[in-house]
Amino acid sequence: MPLLLLFLLVLSINAQAAGCPTWSSERAHAEVTRLRETVSHWDDHYHRLGESLVPDELYDQSRQRLLNLQACFALHSELDSLASARGPIAHPIRHTGVDKLSNEQAVSHWMAGKTGVWLQPKVDGVAVTLVYRQGRLVQLLSRGDGNQGHDWSRHIEVLEGINRQLPNPLELTLQGELYLRLGDHVQAQNGSVNARATVAGLLARKQLAREKGANIALFVWDWPQGPSDQGERVAQLAALGFPDSQRYSVAINSAGEAAYWRQHWYRSALPFATDGVILRQNTRPSAERWQSNAPYWIAAWKHPFAQALTEVRDVHFRIGRTGRITPVLKLQPVQLDDRLITQVSLGSLARWQALDIRPGDQVAISLAGLTIPRFEQVVLRATERDAVTAPAPDQYSALTCWQVSEGCEEQFIARLTWLSGKQGLAMPGTGPGTWRRLVRGGQVASLADWLALDAERLAQLPGMSDTRAKHLQRSFEAGRARPFAQWISGLGVPIPRNLPLEGDWATFTQRSATEWQALPGIGATRASQLQAFFAAEHVQALAQQLSESGIQGFPATATRMRQ
């Protein structure tokens, strides 16, 4: 018993060090069971029906997550993703698996002691065996479980992108990838476009239309019983009518060269989708000894994911200047291309309500325009659904939170940020962080309080240096001196930008909705918004404060004008 307790203690420590969830045993069992069932469901649809229920890269990440969780909680169970892929026909030469290398350092470690290493793009398609008799393609087998596959020979006649007749009457067996033809496909920009699943779905059909078959081509990545030297193999393959094998094979001597070619093919136009690169060494066992597991002489280094799987840690509701509520998912940090993503916006409260995303859910994230995090989909929901309380849709509006009060800090800071931003007073060094420090330091409770701050008071804030305080004071002085039109824009007055500003604040306060509507570009809705804006109590109080501070366009009688 003491040894068992020691083992469990060590396992717990290792799990925490590896970033394992701090779940109870019951929660861990439930989460692992659900994920295992989901992955098995995806496997069955993909291999048996030719249907991909999730993008390929999300499947790969979900499967890896399942393996990690099983290791975290010692819930080991056989995970045979090819259980439904096994066919009735044995391969003449087994298909090997492939180990995945995570980075350049892992590639360097793998290459250590190896000579004659070659690199090819890892074409994102469907692996097959091709059997030629007297130079004619007579059999096409799916990879299946690596040992046995399904017979796809019925499609040979319509697969015009495959060499069905060799120039010489040879007997040979090839292994390769049937891929979807793509014109000038740049993986870094376009992603996998579900090319693998598309081909799998087509080949699973009983009959394949000729026009569909014309969209499928072949990349031969191995000639198991061919020449022992990779350079000679691809040269002879080219002579047999498989030029891509030579065109996309390069000899390398270092991990740095592997990194160069990986980036080159990731960002270059290719006729197929790729999900990484394959490294091979010349020296390998005879084909008759190959096994379906991953051997020592081949490895893969995959491309960055176009969609990343990550866990929702929290749901935050951001309140904007106009009262718009934007749900933001706080995420377990995840790498996409060269960016570390920690949060993503859902855009609207209605969208979050429809999706019902909770902490613990697994979601897919991509980059829009290669820079902006974008939510793609919920991949798997947590077994325990923690309650999330969202603000009421009518709790905030364009006329709420003009001063600091309970529940108003975020919208108030958004107002300050807009006021001091480029669309308002253009005050350098006054972003959300600065305003939050001033608000929480008790220095700013209304939109005009900063006008009374000097460098001495600013320097009293924790962490505020004298130099920073002086810079901030100069920024405030610049804001004070801005023209009336910039103040109108910064305060968020709903006046169209192209409408000439005639008069001052008192002039605007005196206008009725009818008078506003008579102006060009202002309809009934905007006119009502303007009248309500100038009649709002907090807006009037702010105008009085700006008047007392001597701001241009705010006369001393501003708050005594009729609405």
Written in H, E and C, the secondary structure of 78-139 is: CCCCCCCCCCCEECCCCCCCCEEECCHHHHHHHHCCCCCEEEEEEECCEEEEEEEECCEEEE
By the 8 A CB rule, do 307 and 373 touch? no
What residue type is assigned to position 162 of the chain?
I
Domain boundary residue among 449, 482, 515?
482
487 assigned to some structural domain:
no
> Distance between CA 20 and CA 409 in Å, rounded?
35
Q: In this predicted structure, what is the pLDDT of residue 439?
A: 95
Q: In this predicted structure, what is the pLDDT of residue 57?
A: 81
Domain boundary residue among 380, 406, 438?
380
Strand, helix or coil at 508? Answer: helix
Tokens of 48: 């048996």
Q: In this predicted structure, what is the pLDDT of residue 12?
A: 39
Tell me, yes or no, whether 58 and 127 share the same domain: no
Q: In this predicted structure, what is the pLDDT of residue 304?
A: 85
Q: In this predicted structure, what is the pLDDT of residue 50?
A: 66
Kindly list the distances between the CA atom of residue 461 and the CA atoms of 47, 448, 473, in Å, as whole numbers in the listed order. 63, 18, 13
Q: In this predicted structure, what is the pLDDT of residue 11?
A: 36
Tell me, yes or no, whether 276 and 323 share the same domain: no
Indicate if 122 belongs to the active site.
yes
> Distance between CA 167 and CA 301 in Å, rounded?
35
How many C-beta neighbours within 10 Å does residue 77 have?
10
Tell me, yes or no, whether 159 and 244 share the same domain: yes
77 assigned to some structural domain:
no
Catalytic residue among 100, 114, 122, 206: 122
525 assigned to some structural domain:
yes
12 assigned to some structural domain:
yes
Tell me the helix, strand and coil percentages in the chain, rounded to 5.
40, 20, 40
CATH number at residue 353: 2.40.50.140
Which strand (E) or helix (H) includes residue 300? Answer: strand 298-302
351-386 residues labelled b (16+ CB within 10 A) or e (exposed)? ebeebebbbbbbbbbbbeeeeebbbbeebbbbbeee
Tell me, yes or no, whether 314 and 295 share the same domain: no
> Distance between CA 64 and CA 310 in Å, rounded?
12
Contact partners, residue 182, CB within 8 Å, separation at least 6: 193, 195, 270, 271, 272, 273
- Domain around 219: 89-302
Tell me, yes or no, whether 525 and 467 share the same domain: no
- pLDDT per position in the chain (563 positions), as tens? 343 343 334 333 333 334 799 999 999 999 999 999 999 889 888 777 667 788 878 888 998 899 899 999 988 776 655 555 678 999 999 999 999 898 999 999 999 999 999 999 999 999 999 999 999 999 999 998 899 999 999 999 999 989 999 999 999 999 999 999 998 999 988 888 888 888 988 998 899 999 999 999 999 999 999 999 999 999 999 999 999 999 999 999 999 999 999 999 999 999 999 999 999 999 899 999 999 889 999 999 999 888 899 999 999 999 999 999 999 999 999 988 778 999 999 999 999 999 999 999 999 999 887 689 999 999 999 999 999 999 998 899 999 999 999 999 999 999 999 999 999 999 999 999 999 999 999 999 999 999 999 999 999 998 899 999 999 999 999 999 999 999 999 999 999 888 888 889 999 999 999 999 999 889 999 999 999 999 999 999 999 999 999 999 998 754 444 33
What residue type is assigned to position 42 of the chain?
W
Q: In this predicted structure, what is the pLDDT of residue 306?
A: 82
CATH number at residue 261: 3.30.470.30
83 assigned to some structural domain:
no
Tell me, yes or no, whether 271 and 317 share the same domain: no
Domain boundary residue among 252, 269, 302?
302
Tell me, yes or no, whether 114 and 234 share the same domain: yes
CATH number at residue 58: 1.10.287
> Distance between CA 256 and CA 259 in Å, rounded?
5
84 assigned to some structural domain:
no
How many C-beta neighbours within 10 Å does residue 30 have?
15
82 assigned to some structural domain:
no
Tell me, yes or no, whether 130 and 208 share the same domain: yes
Tell me, yes or no, whether 191 and 324 share the same domain: no
Tell me, yes or no, whether 163 and 292 share the same domain: yes
Tell me, yes or no, whether 270 and 339 share the same domain: no
Q: Which of 35, 39, 61 is nearest to 275 (CA)?
A: 61
Q: In this predicted structure, what is the pLDDT of residue 371?
A: 81
183 assigned to some structural domain:
yes
Q: Where are the alpha helices (DSSP H) in 364-503?
A: 409-420, 432-440, 455-458, 466-480, 484-490
CATH number at residue 423: 1.10.150.20
Tell me, yes or no, whether 503 and 561 share the same domain: yes
Q: How many domains, the chain? A: 5
- Write down the pTM of the prediction: 0.74
Strand, helix or coil at 184? Answer: coil
